[in-house]
């Protein structure tokens, strides 16, 4: 079943992707997200654009134009130092949150 | 809400840079290409791959729009959030908001209005070329004990100066003159000037229509041309351009109109000349001076004014030195003019700047107003800062919670600043409205002798200064609490009493602000107090005449060239006036009290140790003048009709001051005096009358001799009647018309009006300063009351404990009042110290009161302490009514 992206988590996922895989273009990021989620993520590839803008505006990523291996024109996003810091914080938050939710759900059962 | 935010975002996109748009299009295209490449690799035909890529991508336009929105939404979103939040919190505490906005508005309003006034009076340019280089040339004579700025060089001396002096780019001579203008049967008197051919070029002014005078206009044959002012053009010729073909009738002669000057050119204005014709407010018409060669070389004192424009590289001192050299030479070269009886040929040199003469006298007043209004603005700023600090302290808990919930520090500072900016903008808007209102009211206070006061309007620069000032103020006031809030340590906050600890610093700052404000209020109050005392003193000066006398001015034209004609005219006028119902007496004088005309004569007193160049003021009056003006008789008798006809051994009446100076310890009645240096023709003193304030209400009376005559020429007539002044004025007009329909009664005033005009400047400055002091006092009290309320809130817990331990309500009340009085007394002390220094600057504004007047100091102190305690009483009573149980539970 395709799952909806939880509000605010897309940013985290993109940051994580960039941190692990190095500079990526939007297509690459979208592909990676789909791949990791085993295509469970119902993601129109265009929907990651707002998140990309937001991250760039926060100064967490930096975009620059380059060439793919197939010599195609593409905009590559690189994670910045601030982005790495934000990634740590967001990850921590997510863990706590997931923890709380997990505990709650465990108690319910 | 979301809908219009999108619209804003779209608007922003329209303005957004093209670069971002192109970048986006390129990125989307590249994304689609990469997708299509992938699909092709999986074996799709290029065409199918392209379609599949599109599908996988989703709506391209939607994605682009989302991208755009996201791009611009971030800052709009945050700004709107801040704004909305700011507005909401402000509207939740209307007391704070209204007080802060009003305080700021009052400060800004007063400041803007006064700046506009100063701008109009001192800064805005005059309709002349660089006025800083315009100078007047005077030739004071050490033998004459009169102000140096009364006498200009004689024509002969002036033309010598003009020929020899190298300091000036241009020099002009002119005379003020009143003209009777007849239009459609009615005659009115207007102010004018007879000017030489260099008049307009010296001022560097050009007409808006036609021309000014060319060289040949100043030859006698061509002298019947005139240049008129814009206002006369509008009032008499309905501003029609055909005015240049028309003529104007001045004193019965036709003058061809050759030019119209631009608006605002009405030189000389009353305030442009140091001792100008007091009947001329402003100059509406100019005609050629047209001197014949005899007049041009006359070395006798004239009525001319000498105006010159300095070369740009010459200082006033250099010009003065040069003039002194030339005057010393001509003084040696020419004998005293036979017309200037008894005056030695010792004409000196004095060059003074035009701006110094015209706006110099009001400069101190303008500075005073600026200083006062500056203090008001400072107090307003202090108040707003205090309010914000108190608010920040009260909100420490809220801000702490926000920080704990993860609000970024920058974001919190932005929020607080937005709030203070909102207060600033509000204050600014209301302030501008107040300033406009204030500017409307100012002309109603117009003392009439501040140049261009009526032209004061809100100009753009002043407006910007005000906006800048207010935003800066609120920003500064908002910054302190904002920094405090952002520096707050969460752990501290979470400890229960951290809130108090963090506000201790604030509290000290707030208290010092209150002390400083109080001190400034004391300075303003003391200044206002001294001015009020001075004003009361001036108002209660014994003028020596009745306020109810109705006076008017008559000037006789050339039809009355023979003395007998003038005598007949004035005898008939007085007889007819006195025959009117209700009229008790009528009499004329050459210069009325409190108008600027003056006549001086040398005097020798029989049996007195006479000194050289001994002077007295002199007045020519018709016999019933004293009764008409109600000037009390001290000794001897008033004039009779026979006195006016006496040709030898004329009877004279002297004032008390004259008696005191020249007849010390002896009876002046029967004493002999003469103005004749050969001492052949003596006059006998027949009466002594009370002193009259002539020059101004504030100047001590000078010795004065009255001569009786009906040969009055141009004179002011006083009429005392039991009827109301308006009725008397009507009767005067009718009476004058019945004698000579071509004469006009001008300057119809009661003596009370003249006193009111004479005190107008004082009323102006006193009322303004009092209003400012009042505003300042109210602001400071609001501040004090606010601080006390705040401190009561902060100390609820403490008060609860005190009461639980047995403190009475009275003790609590006194505790708060004591706190308030410490602040007030500190402020008072500091304020009195500042006042001690500051009132020295006020010295020239005071009359009959010392600059350290103890009465004022005591009154101000009492007023301040009483008001301070009253302001603190409300919060104190609230503290006293705290229920200890509840107070201890609330924490």
Q: Which of B21, B32, B70, B76 to mutate to test the interface with A (most CBs of A within 10 A)?
A: B70
Q: Which of A27, A41, A43 to mutate to test the interface with B (most CBs of B within 10 A)?
A: A27
Is B651 a member of any domain? yes
Is A101 a member of any domain? yes
Is A3 a member of any domain? no
Q: Do A46 and B70 touch (CB under 8 A)?
A: no
- Work out the pLDDT band at B489, boundaries 50, 70, 90: low
Based on its alpha-carbon atoms, the radius of gyration of chain B, rounded to whole angstroms, reads: 38
Work out the average pLDDT over A85-91. 89
Which comes out higher in pLDDT, residue B282 or B478? B282
From the list A45, A52, A72, which residue is nearest B58 (CB)?
A45
Q: Residues B675, B613: one domain?
A: yes
* Contact list, B33 vs chain A (CB under 8 Å): 72-73
Q: Do A45 and B57 touch (CB under 8 A)?
A: yes
Q: Residues B678, B585: one domain?
A: yes
Is B117 a member of any domain? no
Q: Residues B263, B375: one domain?
A: no
Q: Report the range of poorest mean pLDDT among B63-72, B127-136, B826-835.
A: B63-72
Distance from CA of B412 to the nearest CA of A (A): 17
- Domain end marker among B321, B348, B375: B348
Q: Residues B486, B628: one domain?
A: no
* Contact list, A74 vs chain B (CB under 8 Å): 27, 30-31, 34
* Contact list, B71 vs chain A (CB under 8 Å): 53, 57
Q: Residues B565, B674: one domain?
A: yes
Residues 649-708 of B with CB under 8 A from A: none
pLDDT at B208 over 50: yes
Work out the average pLDDT over B868-884. 84
Write down the pLDDT at residue B811: 86
Which ipTM value was assigned to this complex? 0.80
From the list B31, B59, B70, which residue is nearest A26 (CB)?
B31
Q: Residues B614, B718: one domain?
A: yes
- Work out the pLDDT band at B14, boundaries 50, 70, 90: low
Write down the pLDDT at residue B655: 94
β-pairing, B615-621 vs B704-708, is parallel
Tens digit of each residue's pLDDT (9 = 90 or more) over B411-424:
677 777 888 888 88
Tens digit of each residue's pLDDT (9 = 90 or more) over B84-124:
888 888 888 888 888 888 888 888 888 888 888 887 777 65
Counting the structural domains of chain A, the total is 1
Is B545 a member of any domain? no
H helices of B16-93, in order, are 18-41, 46-57, 60-92
Tens digit of each residue's pLDDT (9 = 90 or more) over B616-673:
899 999 999 999 999 999 999 999 988 888 877 889 999 999 999 999 989 999 999 9
Q: Residues B478, B592: one domain?
A: no
- Domain end marker among B348, B382, B408: B348
Work out the average pLDDT over B115-134. 76
Q: Residues B581, B690: one domain?
A: yes
Q: Do A72 and B30 touch (CB under 8 A)?
A: yes
3-class DSSP assignment, residue B300:
coil
Which residue in chain A is spatially nearest to B33 when comparing CA positions? Answer: A72
H helices of B451-591, in order, are 460-487, 490-494, 498-539, 563-579
Nearest to residue B213, comparing CAs of B170, B177, B259? B259
Q: Which of A5, A39, A46 to mutate to test the interface with B (most CBs of B within 10 A)?
A: A46
Write down the pLDDT at residue B497: 47
Residues 33-62 of B with CB under 8 A from A: 33-35, 37-38, 56-60, 62
Is B145 part of the contact surface with chain A (CB cutoff 8 Å)? Answer: no
Hey, what long-range contacts does B7-10 have (CB within 8 A, 24 or more apart)?
B8/B76, B9/B68, B9/B69, B9/B72, B9/B73, B9/B76, B10/B68
Nearest to residue B606, comparing CAs of B641, B642, B646, B652? B652
Counting the structural domains of chain B, the total is 4
pLDDT at A1 over 70: no
* Contact list, B21 vs chain A (CB under 8 Å): none
Is A1 a member of any domain? no
Which CATH number covers residue A46?
Answer: 1.10.10.10
Q: Residues B293, B386: one domain?
A: no
Q: Which domain holds residue A60?
A: 9-108
- Domain end marker among B47, B72, B89: B89
Percent of chain B with pLDDT over 70: 89
Q: Do A49 and B63 touch (CB under 8 A)?
A: yes
Q: Report the range of poorest mean pLDDT among B230-239, B635-644, B764-773, B786-795.
A: B786-795
Tens digit of each residue's pLDDT (9 = 90 or more) over B244-301:
888 888 887 888 899 999 887 888 887 788 888 877 888 999 999 888 888 888 888 8
Q: Residues B417, B515: one domain?
A: yes
Q: Do B30 and A25 touch (CB under 8 A)?
A: yes
Q: Which domain holds residue B828?
A: 362-540+760-890
Q: Residues B340, B370: one domain?
A: no
Q: Residues B587, B714: one domain?
A: yes
Hey, what long-range contacts does B2-9 have (CB within 8 A, 24 or more apart)?
B5/B73, B5/B76, B5/B77, B5/B80, B6/B69, B8/B76, B9/B68, B9/B69, B9/B72, B9/B73, B9/B76
């Amino acid at each position: 079943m395709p799952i909806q992206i939880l509000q605010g988590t897309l940013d985290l996922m993109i940051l994580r992707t960039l941190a692990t895989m190095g500079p990526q273009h939007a297509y690459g990021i979208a592909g990676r997200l789909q791949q990791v989620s085993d295509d469970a993520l119902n993601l129109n590839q265009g929907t990651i654009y707002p998140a990309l803008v937001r991250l760039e505006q926060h100064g967490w990523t930096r975009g620059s134009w380059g060439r793919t291996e197939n010599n195609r024109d593409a905009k590559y996003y690189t994670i910045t130092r601030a982005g790495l810091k934000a990634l740590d914080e967001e990850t921590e938050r997510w863990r706590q949150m997931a923890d709380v939710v997990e505990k709650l759900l465990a108690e319910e059962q | 809400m979301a809908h219009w935010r999108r619209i804003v975002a779209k608007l922003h996109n329209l303005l957004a840079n093209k670069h971002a748009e192109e970048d986006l299009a390129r990125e989307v295209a590249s994304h689609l290409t990469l997708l299509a490449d992938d699909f092709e690799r999986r074996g799709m035909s290029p065409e199918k791959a392209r379609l599949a890529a599109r599908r996988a991508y989703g709506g391209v336009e939607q994605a682009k729009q989302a991208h755009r929105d996201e791009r611009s939404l971030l800052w709009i979103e945050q700004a709107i959030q801040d704004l909305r939040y700011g507005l909401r919190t402000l509207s939740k505490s209307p007391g704070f908001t209204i007080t802060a906005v009003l305080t700021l508005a009052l400060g800004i309003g007063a400041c803007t209005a006064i700046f506009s006034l100063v701008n109009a009076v001192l800064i805005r340019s005059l309709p002349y070329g660089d006025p800083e280089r315009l100078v007047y040339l005077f030739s004071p004579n050490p033998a004459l004990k009169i102000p140096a700025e009364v006498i200009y060089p004689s024509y002969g001396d002036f033309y010598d100066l003009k020929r020899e002096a190298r300091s000036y780019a241009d020099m002009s001579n002119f005379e003020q003159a009143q003209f009777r203008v007849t239009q459609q049967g009615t005659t009115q008197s207007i102010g004018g000037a007879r000017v030489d051919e260099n008049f307009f070029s010296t001022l560097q002014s050009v007409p808006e229509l036609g021309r000014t005078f060319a060289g040949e206009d100043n030859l006698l044959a061509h002298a019947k041309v005139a240049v008129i002012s814009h206002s006369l053009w509008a009032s008499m010729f309905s501003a029609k351009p055909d005015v240049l073909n028309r003529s104007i009738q001045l004193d019965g002669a036709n003058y061809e109109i050759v030019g119209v000057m631009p608006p605002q050119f009405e030189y000389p204005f009353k305030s442009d000349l140091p001792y100008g014709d007091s009947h001329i407010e402003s100059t509406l018409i100019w005609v050629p001076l047209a001197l014949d060669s005899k007049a041009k070389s006359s070395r006798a004192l004239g009525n001319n004014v000498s105006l010159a424009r300095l070369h740009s590289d010459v200082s006033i001192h250099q010009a003065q030195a040069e003039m002194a050299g030339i005057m010393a030479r001509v003084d040696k070269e020419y004998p005293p003019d036979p017309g200037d009886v008894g005056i030695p040929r010792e004409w000196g040199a004095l060059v003074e700047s035009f701006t110094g003469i015209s706006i110099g006298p009001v400069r101190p007043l303008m500075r005073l107003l600026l200083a006062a209004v500056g203090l008001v603005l400072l107090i307003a700023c202090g108040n707003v800062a205090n309010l914000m600090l108190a608010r920040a302290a009260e909100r420490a808990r809220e801000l702490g919670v926000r920080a704990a919930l993860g609000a970024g520090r920058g974001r919190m500072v932005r929020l607080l600043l937005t709030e203070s900016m909102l207060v600033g903008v509000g204050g600014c808007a209301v302030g501008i409205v107040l300033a406009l209102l204030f500017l409307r009211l100012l002309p109603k206070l117009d003392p009439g002798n501040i140049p261009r006061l009526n032209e004061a309007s809100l100009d753009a620069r002043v407006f910007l200064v005000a906006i800048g000032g207010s935003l800066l103020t609120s920003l500064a006031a908002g910054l302190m609490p904002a920094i405090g809030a952002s520096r707050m340590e969460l752990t501290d906050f979470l400890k229960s009493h951290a809130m108090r600890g963090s506000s201790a610093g604030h509290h000290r700052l707030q208290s010092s602000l209150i002390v400083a404000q109080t001190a400034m209020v004391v300075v303003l109050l003391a200044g206002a107090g001294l001015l009020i005392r001075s004003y009361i003193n001036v108002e209660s000066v014994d003028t020596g005449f009745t306020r109810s006398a109705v006076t008017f001015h008559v000037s006789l034209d050339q039809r009355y060239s023979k003395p007998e004609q003038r005598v007949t005219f004035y005898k008939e006028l007085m007889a007819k006036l006195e025959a009117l119902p209700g009229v008790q007496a009528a009499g004329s004088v050459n210069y009325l009290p409190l108008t600027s005309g003056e006549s001086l004569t040398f005097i020798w007193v029989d049996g007195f140790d006479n000194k050289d160049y001994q002077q007295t003021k002199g007045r020519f009056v018709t016999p019933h003048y004293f009764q008409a003006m109600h000037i009390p008789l001290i000794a001897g008798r008033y004039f009779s009709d026979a006195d006016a006809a006496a040709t030898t051994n004329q009877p004279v009446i002297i004032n008390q001051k004259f008696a005191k100076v020249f007849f010390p310890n002896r009876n002046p009645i029967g004493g002999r005096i003469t103005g004749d240096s050969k001492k052949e023709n003596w006059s006998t003193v027949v009466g002594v009358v009370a002193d009259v304030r002539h020059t101004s209400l504030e100047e001590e009376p000078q010795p004065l001799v009255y001569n009786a005559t009906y040969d009055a020429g141009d004179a002011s007539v006083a009429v005392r009647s039991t009827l109301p002044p308006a009725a008397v004025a009507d009767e005067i007009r009718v009476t004058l018309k019945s004698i000579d329909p071509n004469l006009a009664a001008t300057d119809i005033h009661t003596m009370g009006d003249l006193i009111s005009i004479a005190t107008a400047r004082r009323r102006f400055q006193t009322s303004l300063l009092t209003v400012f002091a009042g505003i300042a006092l109210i602001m400071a009290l609001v501040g004090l009351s606010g601080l006390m309320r705040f401190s009561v809130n902060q100390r609820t817990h403490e008060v609860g404990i005190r009461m639980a331990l047995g403190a009475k309500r009275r003790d609590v009340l006194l505790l708060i009042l004591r706190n308030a009085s410490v602040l007030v007394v500190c402020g008072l002390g500091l304020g009195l110290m500042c006042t001690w220094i500051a009132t020295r600057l006020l010295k020239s504004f005071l009359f009959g009161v010392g600059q350290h007047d103890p009465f004022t100091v005591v009154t101000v102190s009492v007023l301040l302490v009483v008001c301070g305690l009253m302001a603190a009483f409300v919060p104190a009573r609230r503290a006293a009514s705290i229920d200890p149980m509840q107070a201890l539970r609330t924490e």
